[in-house]
A and B are shown apart, each in its own frame.
Chain A
Amino acid sequence: MADMAVSRFPEPAVLDKGWIPRGVSRCSTAQFLGWLSPWVALLLLGLYAGWMCLRDGLYHTNMDHRFVFGLWIFLDLAIIALGAGAFFSGFLFYILRWHEMGAVIRSAVVLGFLCYSGAVVVLMVDVGQPLRAWFTFWHPNTHSMLAEVTFCITCYLIVLSIEYLPLVLKNRKLSQIPSFLVFEFQLHKVMPVLAGVGTFLSFFHQGSLGGLFGVMYGRPFAYREGFGIWPATFFLFILSAIAAGPAFLMLTTWLTEKISGHRLVRGSVYRLMARTSGVLLTAYVFFKCVDTVIWLNSTSQQAGFRPWEFYAWAPFGSWVLFLEIVVLGLLPALILLRASEEGPRRWLLCGAALACAGIVVNRLVFTIQTLALPTLPFDEFRTYLPNWVEVATFLGVVAYAVIVYSLSFRYLTLFPQEKELARATARGPQQEEIHVSGR
């Protein structure tokens, strides 16, 4: 994907030029295939590992009776939280009509689709009887947070696919087919409705994913009291996800810019996302602190566990809490808030990276640490490391995401501002500066 706009030397052939949107430049076909090939190799490895689990059973993984959730569930939770950028930017763009989000909304939809579909694929490998997945719909237990998650994720994945479809239909070649074009146009008209549905679904299942752990009253480390049927983690997961979503979007956009060598969105969009993320993250950190204090001093003690007992096991000391709340919560919130007013881009990105890391650590704590801690007083603390099958399967999904995103970036218009910024760059740096500071 890396390419530079102009070269004095004869440029390598872009054989698929007819498929690439007009007005943007993309690297040569050979270069693109070169970029894809390691990811394809990784994807094949992941498919093989996943197939092993489906064919023979989950004994190929390093999960066990204690670590029933391993790397897969942890990363599923993490990528679904990070993929929240899709629904949240959709919400901002279509419902709140923040038009500036239009610069990243398409990329957000693709990322959301990739995060969710990847997570679902991994889940299908992770459950012992994937062929029975439909039983959840057939005999749903409405008290189960997991049923709620399953329903919402399935519906939302459908919504995301519908949202992704117009982007594909708008491809230069495909849009030449008149019926595609017309259908895309009409689909686009109903998009605000779907964005609204998506927001509703996403909002609920982000919460339910938190609720998944918060309702486990058998696990005092995870259990939280809450409001009505929803434990506090329900709300904290929503808040953290919508805080991390824009941050992740910033990071992926920046990464795409770095790798492709093109400016894709205006600086003002970065700043807008950073401010959004910063404000939400600040709120999250506040509520997380409140939650932690209540949990440590009341909830867990009522279950018969001493305060700080959970943090007595190496390597999960109380530093985890400090890391999660201060280093990867408060600090990025402050950075994002400050840097969105002024300051260089790298501070924005640094804040975004820390915020994303904070969410990942939070999900790690809820999956892995919860399971590592003993509940029975004579039981032991356990540690777990994923084995190659788990890592490969997950990397396969990452590879899938990279490949589809690369293809989308190459053949679809993910960043509407790219063309304009490319022209502005061509016209001269001065003009671009005006744009950048013009928020």
Chain B
Amino acid sequence: MAAQAKIPTPPPQKQRRYGMVIDLDRCTGCGACMTACAVENNVPSGPPEADERKGINLMRVFTVRERNSRRTAFIPILCMQCGDRTPCETVCPQQAVEVDPLTGIVEQMPQRCLGCRYCMAACPYQARTFNWWDPAWPAGMETTLNPGVAPRMRGVVEKCDLCHSRLHAAEDRAAAEGRRDLNPGEYVPACVEACPTQAIVFGDLADKASEVSRLAAQPESFRWLERLGTGPKVYYRTRRRWVRDLARQGGAAPNQEVTRG
């Protein structure tokens, strides 16, 4: 956000729809994306009481087991950047959520957030987290904070914004070089960069020639809870039938073959 003020030339004008395709067959569940994300976005390590219920993971890798065959899939879940009817945007009482019309990124403004958590209830992906604690770092560790991202205060909701500060930095660089538009690959979120198996392909879905558009259009690609009509911009792909079958269902039922480990 700080970078916004520095842009000397007008920002790129091309209409973009940033999205990603996550290849579940390449995800090893190592969690590098999670820590890289936390480092990039100045997410503190929670106090000892912070567990999966209250700790902040803007991106979280789920371990999904198929009950009888003991097959496992690792499914990274982050903000799906819903583009059609963004459930969190419409419910926020004070416009702290905005879909950037230029990039399609769903932005959360922590400075305006009241902390009512209605958006979290409305999000079908549970991709939003609440700051239950004051953010705290051990003495000295604040020197290791990312200067491009402001730490969030207690009592506000936060979520993945596709490393917005990286987008700004890339736009600044492009502007300094006199370009209006970004080159593909010039801006990638931290998780995409961190993945040791390059399972995440990131790019502009509006650009039909991009790798991400090509992959998203393939029959092996799908989105979670597509039938809710929220138009997520995060796609998944897998050759494994049982994982694809999961996506056809809505919620899970206890008698189903799948459960989270």
- A contacts B directly (C-beta below 8 A): yes
Q: Which residues of A contact B (CB under 8 A)?
A: 56-59, 64-66, 68-69, 126-129, 132-133, 135-136, 138-141, 143-147, 150, 212, 215-220, 300, 302-306, 309-310, 312-314, 370-371, 373-381
> Closest Cβ of chain A: how far from B162's Cβ, in Å?
19
**Which stretch, B37-45, B115-123, B163-171, B188-196, touches the partner chain A?**
B115-123
Q: A136-B94, A217-B229, A218-B124 are in contact. List 19 more A-B contacts (CB 8 A).
A: A57-B154, A59-B47, A69-B117, A128-B114, A129-B155, A132-B112, A133-B114, A136-B114, A144-B90, A144-B92, A145-B91, A216-B121, A302-B227, A303-B227, A306-B253, A375-B225, A376-B225, A379-B251, A380-B259
- Please name the residue on chain A nearest to B46 by beta carbon: A59
Which B217-261 residues sit within 8 Å CB-CB of chain A? 224-230, 246-256, 258-260
Enumerate chain A residues within 8 angstroms of B247, measured Cβ to Cβ.
Answer: 377
Q: What is the bound-complex CA distance between A290 and B121, given in angstroms?
A: 26
Q: Are A141 and B92 in contact (CB under 8 A)?
A: yes
Tell yes or no: B179 within 8 A of A by CB. Answer: no
Tell yes or no: B103 within 8 A of A by CB. Answer: no
Question: Given B122, B224, B251, which contacts A373 in the complex, CB threshold below 8 Å?
Answer: B251
Q: Are A140 and B94 in contact (CB under 8 A)?
A: yes
**Which stretch, B15-23, B128-136, B143-151, B207-215, touches the partner chain A?**
B128-136
Enumerate chain B residues within 8 angstroms of A212, measured Cβ to Cβ.
Answer: 118
Q: Are A144 and B93 in contact (CB under 8 A)?
A: yes
Q: What is the bound-complex CA distance between A212 and B116, given in angstroms?
A: 12
Q: What is the bound-complex CA distance between A59 and B50, given in angstroms?
A: 9
Enumerate chain A residues within 8 angstroms of B256, measured Cβ to Cβ.
Answer: 377
Q: What is the bound-complex CA distance between A312 and B250, given in angstroms?
A: 13
Counting chain A CB atoms within 10 Å of each CB, the highest count among B64, B124, B251 belongs to B251
Enumerate chain B residues within 8 angstroms of A68, measured Cβ to Cβ.
Answer: 117-118, 120-121, 130
The B interface, classified by DSSP as helix, strand, loop or mixed, is loop
> Closest Cβ of chain B: how far from A146's Cβ, in Å?
4
> Closest Cβ of chain B: how far from A407's Cβ, in Å?
32
Tell yes or no: B198 within 8 A of A by CB. Answer: no
Q: Are A143 and B132 in contact (CB under 8 A)?
A: no
Q: Are B93 and A220 in contact (CB under 8 A)?
A: no
The 3 closest A-B pairs by CB, nearest first: A128-B115, A128-B155, A64-B53
Q: What is the bound-complex CA distance between A373 and B115, given in angstroms?
A: 22
Question: Given A127, A133, A309, A376, which contacts B126 in the complex, CB threshold below 8 Å?
Answer: A376
Q: Are A305 and B250 in contact (CB under 8 A)?
A: yes
A-B contact count (CB 8 A): 201
Given contacts A220-B228, A304-B228, contact A375 B124 (CB under 8 A): yes
List 29 contacting pairs A-B, 8 Å CB cutoff, sorted by A.
Answer: A58-B130, A59-B54, A65-B130, A127-B114, A128-B114, A129-B114, A129-B156, A135-B96, A135-B112, A135-B114, A136-B114, A144-B90, A147-B93, A218-B123, A218-B225, A303-B228, A304-B227, A304-B228, A309-B251, A313-B253, A313-B254, A371-B121, A375-B251, A376-B77, A376-B225, A377-B224, A378-B75, A378-B258, A380-B260
- Please name the residue on chain A nearest to B125 by beta carbon: A376
> Closest Cβ of chain B: how far from A119's Cβ, in Å?
14
> Closest Cβ of chain B: how far from A125's Cβ, in Å?
11
Given contacts A127-B114, A128-B155, contact A220 B230 (CB under 8 A): no
Q: What is the bound-complex CA distance between A212 and B87, given in angstroms?
A: 12
Enumerate chain B residues within 8 angstroms of A219, measured Cβ to Cβ.
Answer: 121-122, 124
Question: Given B87, B93, B252, which contacts A377 in the complex, CB threshold below 8 Å?
Answer: B252
- Please name the residue on chain A nearest to B123 by beta carbon: A218
Q: What is the bound-complex CA distance between A146 and B126, given in angstroms?
A: 19
Question: Given B154, B156, B228, B248, which contacts A218 in the complex, CB threshold below 8 Å?
Answer: B228
Q: Are A141 and B155 in contact (CB under 8 A)?
A: no
Enumerate chain A residues within 8 angstroms of B225, measured Cβ to Cβ.
Answer: 218, 303-304, 375-376
Tell yes or no: B173 within 8 A of A by CB. Answer: no
Tell yes or no: B177 within 8 A of A by CB. Answer: no
Question: Given A146, A217, A312, A313, which contacts B116 in the complex, CB threshold below 8 Å?
Answer: A146
Q: What is the bound-complex CA distance between A69 and B132, given in angstroms?
A: 13
Enumerate chain B residues within 8 angstroms of A310, measured Cβ to Cβ.
Answer: 251
Q: What is the bound-complex CA distance between A36 and B155, given in angstroms?
A: 35
Q: What is the bound-complex CA distance between A56 and B154, given in angstroms?
A: 9
> Closest Cβ of chain A: how far from B132's Cβ, in Å?
4
Q: Are A374 and B252 in contact (CB under 8 A)?
A: yes
Counting chain B CB atoms within 10 Å of each CB, the highest count among A57, A68, A147, A375 belongs to A68
Enumerate chain A residues within 8 angstroms of B230, measured Cβ to Cβ.
Answer: 217-218
Enumerate chain B residues within 8 angstroms of A140, measured Cβ to Cβ.
Answer: 93-95
Enumerate chain A residues within 8 angstroms of B175, measured Cβ to Cβ.
Answer: none
